Chains A and B, each alone.
Chain A
Amino acid sequence: MLAISARSDFAPPHDDPLVTMRRLSFSRGEHRIFRELDLTIPRGKVTAIMGPSGTGKTTLLRLIGGQIRPDAGRIEVDGICVHELGRKELYQLRKRMGVLFQSGALFTDLSVFDNVAFPLREHTRLPESLIRTLVLMKLEAVGLRGAHALMPSQLSGGMARRVALARAIALDPTMILYDEPFAGQDPISMGVLVKLIRTLNDALDLTSIIVSHDVKETAAIADYLYLISDGQVVEHGTPQDLSHSASPWVDQFMHALPDGPMSFHYPAPPYETDLLTGTPS
């Protein structure tokens, strides 16, 4: 796939990556989540980061967004080192990022319209008539213009996620981060979301990062895949590359086999000793 021309306000070379992570380490308490992770996200493409549950995929997004800081290593977004920024600069950077949270995270006390208008009202001094136009445009893009008067509690899960998507693109961000966009969706709304993510990426000239464990849907739209396990990148490449990978681990993950190198069992002492000791260790 051809790299889409970069936005004029930074004018970087075409193959300039948007996000780079170098030797990134992060641990939460005793638990090491990333060890010297290296990852590059190309501009203008849909990049998916996949891996089994509990591998810290969401943590990765929070690192990119600067909500948490790495223990060691470097994360650069558009050439800016995220974790060295002060609060003000970080907030400036975040205005160029849209994030779609797993739950949608719509403000429950605001209507659909006000939810989408929220970032516009907070960050711009646009007149209300213009905000209305912009909000209706964003809602039209996700196909929910008719639902602008509803409250979040009246929306289905898939609709809530689409409204959240409209809100995430309200400020015309450079990049958009999706946290498990397909989790818990019925097949139809899954299909809608898959199509939306792809269309928005191409139409709005975005860079999309998807964190997911839904292999089929993610592979269908991603230009590039990263597989993470045990704190490191296990494999990366285009979806075609990966589905024909020689690695048994990748094979297990991509084709959803129950057992393989990635054990079905959580690490435990030998079964017999555990049963014979009588008390859990």
Chain B
Amino acid sequence: MMASLAELGRFALDRLARLGRANLFLLQLLRALSFLFRRPGLLVKQLHAVGVLSLPIILVSGLFVGMVLGLQGYANLVDFGATSSLGTVVALSLIRELGPVLTALLYAGRAGSALTAEIGLMRATEQLASMQMMAVDPFPRVLAPRFLAGCIAVPLLTGIFTAVGILGGYLVAVVQLGVDGGSFWAQMQAKVQLLADVGNGVLIKSTVFGLVANWIALFEGYQAQPTSEGVSLATTRTVVDTSLAVLGLDFLLTALMFGEW
């Protein structure tokens, strides 16, 4: 009994210490960002790694999610003779929830885990230590470009995911199921609002998710035990922690943004 209580206490303290380290880490990251004004070239390479290379999975997933939404929405709305609002259903679910959340989850799996493994291995192979011994601070040189690139890439990927998803919904609804194309777009335009939906949903949510996903990925990599086991553990933890954080934050943000409607 006492032992398990002590175990719980140790677990809580451990978590708390970890959270503290993570916050310090984020602070150091943010402080290092200004370096990128002097070396914007560093950003390009990382944008390629986390953004361009994530595009295929985002495009394909977005298309399929949109198509499924079109099919399911049609099956439900057809009973009420309301298929003309299919566009609204597809667009709103993608813009408010599915776009930001699924993009963040896919990003964690595709790019976040890679970031963790890369940083973890750089530590394990003493690359970061040797950089420090060459009087180069790895925060501005290695971590900050990856962080900023990730924070830029996630909102862009979310926008692409959402847009492609809506096109996928259009393909199914209009091209395949014969919903009227004019009313598909018109109803969507009447209901979807630029600031309240696109701004809150796609832009703010994805920015928050991008920040969290990259923060977790880089922190896990930086904290990883410098062994192959440690790196693999950190990679797993990145995907799990990011997924949980994104889903939890999504609930919070949704409650704040859309709760009153």
User: What is the interface of chain A, defined by CB distance below 8 A to chain B?
Assistant: 65, 67, 91-92, 94-95, 97, 99, 101-103, 105-108, 118-119, 122-123, 164, 167, 171
Chain A residues near B141 (CB-CB < 8 A): 122
Q: Which of A91, A92, A105 contacts B130 (CB 8 A)?
A: A105
Chain A residues near B134 (CB-CB < 8 A): 94-95, 99, 118-119, 122, 167, 171
A175 to chain B, nearest CB (A): 12
B246 to chain A, nearest CB (A): 28
B34-60 interface mask toward A, CB cutoff 8 Å, 1 = contact, 0 = none?
Answer: 000000000000000000000000000
User: What is the interface of chain B, defined by CB distance below 8 A to chain A?
Assistant: 121-122, 125-127, 129-137, 141
In the assembled complex, the Cα of A106 lies from the Cα of B136 at a distance in Å of 14
Chain A residues near B132 (CB-CB < 8 A): 67, 94
In the assembled complex, the Cα of A213 lies from the Cα of B135 at a distance in Å of 28
Chain A residues near B129 (CB-CB < 8 A): 67, 101, 105
A-B contact count (CB 8 A): 50
Interface centre among B121, B127, B135, by most chain A C-beta atoms within 10 angstroms, is B135
Smallest Cβ-Cβ distance to B141: which chain A residue? A122
Chain A residues near B126 (CB-CB < 8 A): 101-103, 105
Interchain Cβ contacts under 8 Å between A and B, 6 examples: A67-B129, A99-B133, A99-B134, A102-B126, A107-B131, A118-B134
B8 to chain A, nearest CB (A): 24
Chain A residues near B137 (CB-CB < 8 A): 91
Chain B residues near A99 (CB-CB < 8 A): 130, 133-134
Q: Are B135 and A108 in contact (CB under 8 A)?
A: no
Chain A residues near B130 (CB-CB < 8 A): 99, 101, 105, 164
In the assembled complex, the Cα of A242 lies from the Cα of B215 at a distance in Å of 53
Q: Are A103 and B125 in contact (CB under 8 A)?
A: yes
Chain B residues near A94 (CB-CB < 8 A): 132-135
Chain A residues near B125 (CB-CB < 8 A): 103, 105, 108
Ranked nearest first, the 7 interchain pairs of A and B with the lowest CB-CB distance are: A105-B130, A105-B126, A94-B135, A91-B135, A99-B133, A101-B126, A95-B135
Known: A97-B133, A119-B135, A171-B134; 12 extra A-B contacts, CB below 8 A, are A67-B132, A67-B133, A91-B137, A92-B135, A94-B132, A95-B134, A95-B135, A101-B130, A105-B126, A107-B127, A108-B127, A122-B136
In the assembled complex, the Cα of A67 lies from the Cα of B132 at a distance in Å of 8
In the assembled complex, the Cα of A222 lies from the Cα of B136 at a distance in Å of 30
Q: Which of A65, A105, A123, A171 contacts B127 (CB 8 A)?
A: A105
Q: Which of B122, B127, B136 contacts A119 (CB 8 A)?
A: B136
Smallest Cβ-Cβ distance to A170: which chain B residue? B134
Q: Are A123 and B135 in contact (CB under 8 A)?
A: yes
Q: Are A65 and B136 in contact (CB under 8 A)?
A: no
Chain B residues near A65 (CB-CB < 8 A): 133
In the assembled complex, the Cα of A91 lies from the Cα of B135 at a distance in Å of 5
In the assembled complex, the Cα of A198 lies from the Cα of B75 at a distance in Å of 80
Smallest Cβ-Cβ distance to A110: which chain B residue? B127
B227 to chain A, nearest CB (A): 13
A281 to chain B, nearest CB (A): 20
In the assembled complex, the Cα of A92 lies from the Cα of B135 at a distance in Å of 7
Chain A residues near B133 (CB-CB < 8 A): 65, 67, 94, 97, 99
In the assembled complex, the Cα of A181 lies from the Cα of B134 at a distance in Å of 18
Smallest Cβ-Cβ distance to B121: which chain A residue? A108
Smallest Cβ-Cβ distance to B142: which chain A residue? A107
In the assembled complex, the Cα of A123 lies from the Cα of B135 at a distance in Å of 9
Chain B residues near A167 (CB-CB < 8 A): 134
In the assembled complex, the Cα of A107 lies from the Cα of B121 at a distance in Å of 11
Smallest Cβ-Cβ distance to A100: which chain B residue? B130
Chain B residues near A123 (CB-CB < 8 A): 135-136
A229 to chain B, nearest CB (A): 25
Smallest Cβ-Cβ distance to A88: which chain B residue? B135
Chain B residues near A92 (CB-CB < 8 A): 135
In the assembled complex, the Cα of A80 lies from the Cα of B127 at a distance in Å of 26
In the assembled complex, the Cα of A67 lies from the Cα of B134 at a distance in Å of 12
In the assembled complex, the Cα of A106 lies from the Cα of B127 at a distance in Å of 6
Interface centre among B122, B127, B130, by most chain A C-beta atoms within 10 angstroms, is B130
Smallest Cβ-Cβ distance to A61: which chain B residue? B133
Chain A residues near B136 (CB-CB < 8 A): 118-119, 122-123
B68 to chain A, nearest CB (A): 38
B249 to chain A, nearest CB (A): 32
